[in-house]
Amino acid sequence: MRVLFSVAVIAAVSLPLGAHAQSADEAAGAGAGLATGAVAGAIIGGPVGAALGGAIGAIAGGALSAPQAARVQQYVVTQGTPSAYVQDQVVVGAPLPRTVSSYPVPADVGVNTQYNYSVLNERTVVVDPQTRRVIQVID
């Protein structure tokens, strides 16, 4: 019964998130994040943890889908964007150092242009321009 309740809660949470996605690729990213977050949340906190983890995972997983990430990576390579080198690990959630520039993703790349990108330690990262936090690392 708890599993059924958890699935219902996750479905209820995912529907509004899917409605706000701007493309099928973004919806896929949010869905993957939702599923991953829900599993992790269920392990830690049961049904309530599953619902909360799913919601958080959908937000985090909604950065760029694999096809979008590939388009951004291809764009970055063709631009020859220089890599900045930092001592810290390049991970999601880490702030972009103030000495490192980020650049807008042009609309003609075909992805949500609310994000910026940068290259850190030879890895392309997607950055939230408002918070300057890394929201995705593209390998």
Distance CA 13, CA 83 (A): 38
The proportion of the chain whose per-residue pLDDT surpasses 90, expressed as a percent, equals 45
Tens digit of each residue's pLDDT (9 = 90 or more) over 45-55: 676 655 555 44
Q: Taking the model in full, what pTM does it have? A: 0.57
- Beta strand ranges found along the chain (DSSP E): 103-104, 116-120, 123-127, 134-138
For the chain, helix (H) and strand (E) counts, in that order, are 3, 4
Chain segment 100-135, per-residue pLDDT in tens:
999 999 988 888 778 999 999 999 999 999 999 999
- Average pLDDT of the residues in 62-71: 87
* Helix or strand (DSSP H, E) at 11: helix 2-20
Over residues 22-47, the pLDDT tens digits come to: 445 444 454 555 455 545 555 666 76
Domain ranges in the chain are 2-61, 66-138
Provide the CATH number for the domain formed by 66-138 in this structure. 3.10.450.160
